[in-house]
Amino acid sequence: MTVIDLAKYMRAREIASRPQATAPIWIGDHTSQSKDRDEHVIGTDWGAVPDEGGTLSARVLQKLDRNAQLSKFFELAANATSHINECIDLLEQQDNLAADDQFMAGKQIFAELLMFRDISDSVGLVLLRCFQAASQVRAVTDVPTLPRTILRVLNRISTAPFMNFEEACSLADEIEHAAGRLSMPGYNELSEQLIAESETEIA
């Protein structure tokens, strides 16, 4: 059973048992309140229209299957959020060393969160950017807007792990904007060769 199948199954159970679930999470694009049904996406099946229905509760999901990948992802994301929140508080108190320590602790969790990249490509991309940003930072005071950006992005991806990939691209851009240029080893080399090949082809 895939994560998406599991999520659908549990959503159906949740709707049947408790329509007014707390902590709602849409299985699909968070813009699902839009009237345009074509905007809705489930997982990576772009353009698919999700079933009619309500919402999925993260709490219920964790209760039903504590070992599920999605459930572990939420738990780790909440842990990362907690460290970043603490980092922001400490920065406000100008306790820079303690703030940086909290940020470093966040990096450890981002590395582990990367193991959940196959939940969806949106999750994968956003977590990759969080990890890259955390790896690149030498001192958190160098990038004062980054913790808040990461916090906002983490909250968003935790609320809508199956969001439209294009929205995930925007979130990734926000992180890069706050952190500065983030380099991905191999990207320049690979893209140079792919572009050179295409120039040969165009010719």
Partner 1 sequence: MVSAFLETTVLTDYLLKKDGSERAAANVLSDFNSTIVPQFAWKEFKRGPLSNFKWAHNKLAETGSFAQTLSALQRLSRTPQRYLTSTAIQALHSAFVSSFDGVSLQDLQDRYGSKATMDNLLADALRLEIKRAMFASWRKRKTLFGGPHHRLKCYPDADLHEVKLRVEINPRDCPADTECCLKEELSTKKKELSHARAALRGSASRPEITNRLRVLRQIEKHPQSKMGPLECRRFGDAYFVIFCPADAVIITTNVRDIEPMATRLGINVKTP
Kindly state whether residue 38 participates in binding partner 1, applying the rule CB under 8 A: no
CB 8 to partner 1: min, Å: 17
- Spatial CA neighbour of 98 closest among 155, 147, 151, 154: 147
Find the binding residues for partner 1 in span 105-164 (CB under 8 A): 107-108, 111-112, 114-115, 117-118, 121, 124-125, 128, 131-132, 135-136
CB 91 to partner 1: min, Å: 21
Interacting span for partner 1 (CB under 8 A) from 29-37, 50-58, 82-90, 187-195 = 187-195
CB 203 to partner 1: min, Å: 4
Alpha-carbon span 36 to 39, nearest angstrom: 6
Q: Which parts of the chain are beta strand (E)? A: 24-25, 56-57
Amino acid letter at 154?
Answer: L
Amino acid letter at 28?
Answer: G
Cα atoms found within 13 Å of the Cα of residue 30, Cβ hemisphere only = 15
Q: 157-180: string of b/e by CB count within 10 Å (b at 16+)?
A: bbebbbbbbebbeebbebbeebbe
Interacting span for partner 1 (CB under 8 A) from 5-13, 57-65, 153-161, 188-196 = 188-196
Residue with Cβ nearer partner 1 (57 or 132): 132
Residues that bind partner 1 (CB under 8 A): 44-47, 104, 107-108, 111-112, 114-115, 117-118, 121, 124-125, 128, 131-132, 135-136, 165-166, 168-169, 172-173, 181, 183-203
